Structure 1
Amino acid sequence: MVARGLEIGIYDAQRSIVDAFNPRLGLPREQAIEALRAWLRRRGSQPSSLLRVAGHWPHARAGLTEVLQVLL
């Protein structure tokens, strides 16, 4: 999507959570964890599919894996 000359990617919930755990984006870790918790409460959420998506972004995968181990 392009708005006012800025290209903005629109993704599914899994990709958004992976992005939230990417330290390069500088989002607060608490927000990333809360997004993950909300997603895990959804019917049909599959942590394995989330980790598969995260496999493409190693900077995000480490933090995400750590939090998933604690929450699950």
Structure 2
Amino acid sequence: MESIKVRQHIGQDGILHLEIPVGLREQDVEVMVIYQSVPSLTTIEPLESLYGICADDPIILDDEGISEALDDDLTGAFD
């Protein structure tokens, strides 16, 4: 038994179209379909929805500037 995982869109007609691999032509197969609804990839949240998401974790700026100790040592990371 083999399994194939695909992500497809079911149109208004209710028909799911599946492309079968080339090696499975001209033979009988038994198929079981298990489905799970997934959020659409084309849904884009408006920028306004992000306003205030860091309200509970504010960024604190002070007069000391940026500390060099906070920088990661990236020596050899890009070799």
| Smaller-chain TM-score bracket | under 0.3
Task: Pick the structure with more strand per residue.
Answer: 1
Greater relative CO, 1 or 2 (CA 8 Å, sep 6+): 1
TM-score normalised by length of structure 1: 0.21
| Bigger Rg, which one | 2
Task: Pick the structure with more helix per residue.
Answer: 1
